A = this chain, B = another copy of it.
Amino acid sequence: MKYPNGVKQQKTSDLHIQYGNRGMNLEKDLNDSNNYYIDMEKAFIYKKPTPIQITKVDYPSRSAAVIREAYFKEPSTTDYNGIYRGNYIDFEAKETNNKTSFPLNNINAHQIKHIENVYKANGICFLIVRFNFLNETYLLMAKDFLDFIKGNSRKSIPISYFKEYGHKIEEKYIPRLDYLKIIDKILDNK
């Protein structure tokens, strides 16, 4: 498509904002979905707090400590875990603006080791990956994720792999991302 000078730039900028927000929404969508599951007493799955190294705290009064200096730490496990149908649930959620593949540098070596540990321990472990530009969200079980890493030297997982081995999560009004529907099928076929 061709645009008069300036208009295209404007459009790109809008898209950037739009998709940027949408990317941030994966966490919000998952938290909303998890809160729905908790309210229904269906599952108890929470996002872990962001790991922080605190180096300076002020105590201006007895009741409120203020952290004045702290740094973000690399996570050593995944972001979400909890219990569903008596099973230990553990997953990492990521969004990407990449159109054709999911870059593996989104997940660090400690997290991959953790995913492998949980998988071997018979936990229900998976990734949830949203492709922002396609507005598609996939669930990929730990086994299929680990199979890809072991069988490939590629630095990203192509979307075709998610389409073949993953499970597309439908977006609904409530819960926003009903990913436990996919886990139900997997548990029922176990």
Q: Residues of A with Cβ closer than 8 Å to B? A: 38, 41, 43-44, 46, 48-52, 54, 64-73, 76-77, 81-84, 86-90, 114, 117-118, 120-123
- B52, A50: Cβ atoms closer than 8 Å: yes
Q: Identify A114's interface contact among B44, B49, B117, CB under 8 A.
A: B44
Q: How many copies of this chain sit in the oligomeric assembly?
A: 2
Known: A71-B64, A83-B88. Is A77-B118 also a contact (CB below 8 A)? no
> How far in angstroms is the closest Cβ of chain B from A57?
9
Q: Can you name 29 A-B residue pairings with CB atoms under 8 Å?
A: A41-B121, A43-B121, A44-B114, A44-B121, A46-B77, A48-B48, A49-B51, A49-B52, A49-B73, A52-B52, A52-B67, A64-B71, A66-B70, A66-B71, A67-B67, A67-B70, A67-B72, A68-B69, A81-B81, A82-B88, A83-B122, A83-B123, A84-B121, A86-B88, A86-B121, A86-B122, A86-B123, A88-B88, A88-B89
- A41, B117: Cβ atoms closer than 8 Å: yes
For A68, list chain B residues within 8 Å (CB).
Answer: 68-69
A107 to B46, CA, bound (A): 18
Known: A48-B48, A81-B81, A83-B121. Is A65-B72 also a contact (CB below 8 A)? yes
For A48, list chain B residues within 8 Å (CB).
Answer: 48-49
> How far in angstroms is the closest Cβ of chain B from A78?
10
| Pairs of residues from A and B, 10 with the lowest C-beta to C-beta distance, nearest first | A67-B70, A83-B88, A49-B51, A88-B88, A49-B49, A86-B122, A83-B123, A83-B121, A44-B117, A48-B48
